[in-house]
Structure 1
Amino acid sequence: MNQTKIQRIIDSGVDFNIEEILSKAWEMFKSQALLHIGFMAMIAAIQVCFSLYLEDITFLYAIFLSPPLVCGFYLVANRQNQGEPVDFQNYFDGFKYWWDLVSTNLISSVVVILGLILFIVPGIYLLVGYMFSLLFVIYGGFDFWTSMELSRRLVHTNWLKFFLFGLALLALNIAGFLFLMVGLLVTVPITYLAVYILFEELTIDAVEEEPKNTAIHG
């Protein structure tokens, strides 16, 4: 990704249709439903194991394993979007960016928590603002602070719309939880696919011609 082009996108402002993004995420989910559900079930099983048997070190999962695992959805979504074949091992490609994802997720989480504890409103602002941080790490190759700032500045151009998008995703997952929690196997993957789709649509003009494993291609 070209940072200058990203800045141009930020300067011009962004807008999007929430319903359209969710609809595209649903279609993407359906095309590889068994794989998405299977990977989500694996993540849920790992979380349950930590909660039941490794409760004292559950934080280690959240810090060191969760970021690359959930980013597996972003990487598979990219493959789906390009019409490339997908298999289960592709979900683990997030570990190729392990340290950058872990450091970015940890630092952004600390900043958000401090904002929530001290002032609440800034914490909410940053929670929404950092939604693309990990995607900028993967597809932009940026360091943690640049990724966080690019995400925040991009979201800032239309923060209320992104906030409503986040509420829509939250409502979707609450609905999934109410279906005896089984629905989360569907709604959580859709959530990550939707974030990826939105990110791609907003930043596609900043993509440079690079090898497929380092950039989003439209």
Structure 2
Amino acid sequence: MSKEKLAIIRERGYDFDIQNLFERAWAMYKIQPLLNASFTMLIISANLLAALYFKDYAFLYSLFVAPHLFSGFYFVANKYSQGEHVVYPDFFKGFSFYMPIFSIWLIGQILTALGIFAFIIPGIYLAVAYNFAVLMAIFGGFDFWTALEESRKLITVRWWKMALLILILVILNIVGALFFLFGLVLTLPITYYAIYLLFEDLTEDVFVEEQ
């Protein structure tokens, strides 16, 4: 993936259908619902264990382990999209891109926090604009800073609609958490699958041209 081709996508503009994304993400989840649910339960359990029994180290878990677990959904979504069979170890492939994912989460959260602390609005802007950064690193081959910047520039084209999508996903996960966290078994994978599908839709032409 090249920055020049991404610039062409930004220049011509794009749009997306939020309802369609949810329908496709749900269809993706249903391909192997037990596998998706079991991995999500693993993440939830790990988060609870870190919060309840390792409070002093919970921050380290959220920085050094959690991002790579969550990123596993992107690898699985990619295999589903390609019509490939998914096995449980595929969910752990985020650890094979350890430093890019770690750097994106660390720097991205620092910049977002600084933006919120300074003027609030810049922080909100970055919180939305960085949602493609991990995908840019994994599937675009960019270093962490380029991934953050290319994500920001691409999402800025339709920032308000992307913000609406993220808001819906946040509310969806809050509702899921209210059901004794069990609802997250469904809402969490759908969240990552929806974001992946949007990224794939927007960058599909770039990958086709490079093949």
Superimposed CA distance per residue, residues 52-110 of structure 1 (whole angstroms, 9 cap, x where no aligned partner) = 22110111111111111111000000001111111100001111100111011100000
Task: Report the Cα distance in structure 1 between the residues aligned to 2:165 and 2:22, rounded to whole angstroms.
Answer: 9
Give the partner amino acid of 2:10: I
Runs (4 or more) in structure 1 with deviation over 4 Å come to none
Aligned pairs for 1:28-43 within 5 A: 28-43=28-43
Cα contact 1:3–1:206 (8 A) shared by 2 = no
Percent of residue pairs bearing the same amino acid type = 44
Superimposed CA distance per residue, residues 27-64 of structure 1 (whole angstroms, 9 cap, x where no aligned partner) = 10111111111001111111111112211011111111
Q: 1:206: Cα distance to partner? A: 1.2
The residue number in structure 1 matching 2:78 is 78
CA RMSD of aligned residues (A): 0.9
SS at match of 2:65: helix
SS at match of 1:48: helix
Give the partner amino acid of 2:202: L
The residue number in structure 2 matching 1:98 is 98
Q: 1:11: Cα distance to partner? A: 1.4
Aligned pairs for 1:99-138 within 5 A: 99-138=99-138
Cα contact 1:113–1:123 (8 A) shared by 2 = yes
Between 172-181 and 138-147, the greater mean CA deviation after superposition: 172-181
The residue number in structure 2 matching 1:57 is 57
Task: Report the Cα distance in structure 2 between the residues aligned to 1:181 and 1:59, rounded to whole angstroms.
Answer: 20
TM-score after normalising by structure 2: 0.96
Task: Report the Cα distance in structure 1 between the residues aligned to 2:85 and 2:74, rounded to whole angstroms.
Answer: 15
The residue number in structure 1 matching 2:154 is 154
Q: Which runs of 5+ in 1 are unaligned?
A: 210-218
The residue number in structure 2 matching 1:21 is 21
TM-score after normalising by structure 1: 0.93
Give the partner amino acid of 1:50: A
